[in-house]
Structure formats: C-alpha cells, structure tokens
Structure 1
Amino acid sequence: MAKKVVPETARKRRRPTRTGTVLSERLIVETALRLLGHHGGAGLTARRLGAALGADPSTVYRYFRGMDDLTLAIADELIGRAVRGWRVRGEWRADLRELGLRLHSAYLAHPQAAVLAASRITGRANETATVEAILGLLRTAGFADGEAVRVYRSLVDLSLAFAALDSAALALPETVRDADREMWRDTCGRLPAATHPHIAATAAPLVACMNGSAYPTTLDMLLDSAAGRLSRTG
C-alpha cells in the first residue's frame, strides 16, 4: 500500500536539518536534480537524498509517496522551468515554437533527469497549466477541438521525445560522445562517390547536421504542417 503523504501544514520540520535548512518539497526536488546530475537515475535513492539534505532518509516520504512520486515532481519542475517567463504574444505558431524550444532546453539542462522523467505524465500544476495554455492557443487560432488536441499531442510528444533522445546523448561519457561525432566524419564523410554517390555529395552538410539536434528543424516542420491544415480547413 502506498504511503500516505503528510499534509503540507503538518509535514514541515519545526527545526532545521543538520545542514541548517528547513525542508520543503521544492528543496527536495532541487536536491534530487543535483544528485541526478552527479549520479544518474540509478544514484537517486532515499538514502543518498537524505544524506544530501542532512535529514533521515525516511523524511522524504513525508513529502512524497515514494521515489516514483518524486520523479513526477521532478518532471513537473522541469516543465515549470520551461514555461517560466514564457508569454503568449498572439501569434500561435511563434508562441508554440518558443514554448517547444523552451521545453527542449529545460530538459537538456538536466539530461540525467530528462532521461528519467521525459516520458512521465505528472498530473501536477505546471503540466496542467501548460496543457491549458497550448490548447487555448490552438483553439483561439481557429483549430477545431479534435484538431487542436492532435496538434497539442504531436507538439508535446515531439518535444519530449527529442528531449529524451538528446539528453541520452548528453548523459553519455564525453569520450563516447566524441567517438560518435568522429564516427560520422570518419565514416560517412569519407565514403567514395563511386559506391555512395549521394552520401559523398552531401558529406559536409550531413556530418554537420548529424552532430547537432534535429529538433528545431523537426519542430518547424510540425508547425508548418499544422498551419497548412488550418488554412485548408478555413
């Protein structure tokens, strides 16, 4: 049976921890993000989190039902960081493009957390507010309800899928990332035109493209497609 989370008013410590801080849900999430950056998903444990907070590991369970509940809070925090400062300016395509880039960047800033949390549905405040904002933009732009939902789903899944993919690459050891980049240059960049004419003809832009993220280009393709569908349906 899942542990019962203590209400906010009752769970706050009356005195600081050994490190002189007063615990809060936000502090635990921020500390978990830091631990993920150092140790990866496998290294995020209640014991290690308690040690970093200067508190007994069981204290975490006064704020979260378990480590999976903490993972959902981490995912919602990343969404919150993405939308912080984002403003709707009235041009749906530009607004959604900016939001998509913000989501991608927020997750890439914490690649280990992104690998752990990008596929999760949080049901928390930042996520639901973002869903509301995206659907509002699309419906106001003139998309029918069903089409607005499809564009929303495509936009979010695209952003988080690329966040997970690109974060997985960033989470690799630097030597491995360097080897992957060299592989494109040393293999595809040197194939002869006699056997691989199309790769040889596009070698320079191919190597440059494959060593970066395709997300901005793919995002533009999605939004172009959505705009085309909107214009055709009137």
Structure 2
Amino acid sequence: MAGRRRWATEEILDAAAELLRTSDAESFSVRKLAAVLGTDSSSLYRHFRSRTELLRAVADRILLAAVDGYVPEGDWKQRITGLALHVREAFGQQPQLAAVWGRYASSGAGSRLIMEEMLEALQASGLPDEKIPAQYHRLAVLVTSLIASEAGFGTLTPEEHEQGLELFRVAVLGADPERFPALAHFARDVRPLGVDRRAAFEEILAAHLAHVEASI
C-alpha cells in the first residue's frame, strides 16, 4: 500500500492560509488542517512544533507579501506610512491573521524585514540612537493595534455589519438628550467605527509621527 504523501512546508502554509479564509484563528487547529490535507497531525508537527508556531508562520507570510510590494520612497515619515499601509492592505486580505500577528511575536523573515525598514527610517529621522528602540516599540504597538482592530470588522458578514449599523443608529440617534446631552448634540455627525477607517488610520499614524518629529 502506498505511503502517506509528505507535504512540503510551503504547501502546509498554503493550506493553512486557505483554511483560515473560511474560519477564524480561535477555531483553527492542527487536527483540522491535517484533515484537509488527508494526513495526521503528527506529520505536521514535524514541520511546526505547535499550533502557535504554525499560525505565526502563516502570519509572517502576510508580512513577506507586504514587504514584497513595498518600495521605500520619500522622507522617513513617508517611508513608515507607506510600509504601514502595505501591511494594513496585506492583512486586509486575510483579516483572521491580524489578531494572530498582534498576539504572538514573530521571528520570521517577514517580521525582520518590517523591523529593519522601520528602524532604518527612524535612523534617517535624526533621532539619537538611544531613543530609537523606544520609538520603534511605540510605533509597532500603534500599527499592530490599529490593524488588528480594523481586521475585526473585516471578518463580519454583510448581515452582521448591517445589524451593527442599525444598533449604532438606535444607540446614538435614540439617545435621551437629558441623560446623554453631548451624545444627542453630536448624534448626526458621530460615525460608526467601521466608517472611513483608512483615513482614520493615516491620521492617527501621522499624528504620532508628528509627535516623534517634534521630539527630535
């Protein structure tokens, strides 16, 4: 009888990425992936020591894809903004993995390339070397948090999205002006979190970079 097929690491990552398109990271398991590949979990553990390591590897491929389409242009702020937007767009194609990226540290090639470019851009800003690691950390936390937060909206079904909008309208437009005077005053101008997130992403990042520039 023919033996089980031996899957290459890249094939396993391809299958994992495809499985995550139709599920979420919380319900993902090595056993489910093995079933998709027609093998047993032990064969996958020869490539990855744990479920977490496998998820990190899939997320790192998203970072590699982001860097692959990125060309450093402009000054240091433009470089960081361009890189952040490329990462945002890449995870927009696979929002289930944004939370994985935000939760677990990655040591893959994609992660190292992102770190290298951000650190080089900060060096070009004129910041003293002793201040760069702390500023890099703040930028990494900000960008990761914004992308992970936005990704949550990317996983909603159209029905869930519409239901959320209706609940928002009820909560805001129906607010009692005596109990919530400020909310009632701004009700027609306050927008749901999911609206125009790209502009909000760029404005928040620009404000932080301006703060960094002011400290130089």
So what's the TM-score if we normalise by structure 2?
Answer: 0.84
- List structure 1 segments (4+ residues) > 6 angstroms apart after TM superposition: none
Structure 1, residues 47-104: CA drift from partner, whole Å, max 9, x if none?
Answer: 3212322434322122111212112212211211221121112411111111112222
In structure 2, what is the Cα distance between the partners aligned to 1:180 and 1:209?
Answer: 10
* Residue of structure 2 equivalent to 1:138: 122
CA RMSD of aligned residues (A): 2.5
Q: Percent identity?
A: 23
Q: Does the 8 Å contact 1:118/1:161 carry over to 2?
A: yes
In structure 2, what is the Cα distance between the partners aligned to 1:142 and 1:16?
Answer: 57
Name the amino acid aligned to 2:21. Answer: G
In structure 2, what is the Cα distance between the partners aligned to 1:48 and 1:195?
Answer: 50
Which residue of the other structure, out of 15, 30, 34, is the alignment partner of 1:46?
Answer: 30
* Residue of structure 1 equivalent to 2:206: 220
In structure 1, what is the Cα distance between the partners aligned to 2:173 and 2:83?
Answer: 35
Which residue of the other structure, out of 92, 98, 101, is the alignment partner of 2:82?
Answer: 98
1:125 aligns with 2:75: no
Unaligned runs of 5+ residues in structure 2 are none
Number of aligned residues? 212
Query: 1:1-234 maps to which residues of 2 (within 5 A)?
Result: 17=5, 23-191=7-175, 196-207=180-191, 211-213=195-197, 214-230=200-216
In structure 2, what is the Cα distance between the partners aligned to 1:210 and 1:44?
Answer: 26
- SS at the partner of 1:204? coil
Q: Does the 8 Å contact 1:107/1:113 carry over to 2?
A: yes
Name the amino acid aligned to 1:181. Answer: L
The structural deviation recorded for 1:32 is 0.8
The structural deviation recorded for 1:215 is 2.4
